[in-house]
Amino acid sequence: MVRAVFLDRDGVINRKAPEGCYVTRWTQVKFLPGGAAAVKRIREAGFQVIVVSNQRAVAKKLISETELEFLHLRMWQEFFRGEKGFDAVYCCQHDDDPPCECRKPQPGMLLTAARDRGIDLGASWMVGDSESDVLAGRRAGCRTIRIGSPDIRSSTGADAVAESLTQAVNVILASETMGAGDHSNESPVVGLASISS
């Protein structure tokens, strides 16, 4: 069984740009603390680690597809510093209109990754900082964690809330040790979000 942890990019791996703006240049990249170590822990627990990211800046012609690929190459080189990187990166480069199947909250990127890599989505997780990430994960059949402050707990459909990727990994690993293979009743997972980083 192949399991994965799907990660959004902006707001999970690196700091999100201000509303209405996009990370399109290396000078705009600010990594959030503890991310590379958190990814290593996920992998050591037996999960693939896959980035699924909406990159509408391509459709808006603020960055080309090639420039995005080079930006990611540099980001991952700096992020991992010689350690094993992500298992795969999937990006939706479309705008909101016309609608597509891959732009979150649609689950297309997760479903494609599952087909490409033989992933059991029911045994996998989606970690993101927005409700569109949560919806994409739930529609794909994954358990979900939303990155944010504890006060979003009452307004999110996520199974858990964590303040950072490090804390999200704590939630995932705690769930593993509890033997949470059957998540037909997912509400107890929410309580794990209080685990400190």
Contact 147, 153 (CB under 8 A): no
Q: Judging by DSSP bridges, how do beta strands 88-92 and 125-128 pair with one another?
A: unpaired
**Which is catalytic among the residues 10, 87, 129, 133?**
10
Q: Which domains does the chain have, with CATH numbers?
A: 3-194 (3.40.50.1000)
Condensed to tens digits (0 to 9), the pLDDT of residues 105-146 reads 999 999 999 999 999 999 999 999 999 999 999 999 999 999
Condensed to tens digits (0 to 9), the pLDDT of residues 15-56 reads 999 988 999 999 999 999 999 999 999 999 999 999 999 999
pTM: 0.90
182 is catalytic: no
- CA gap 192, 161 in Å, rounded: 8
129 is catalytic: no
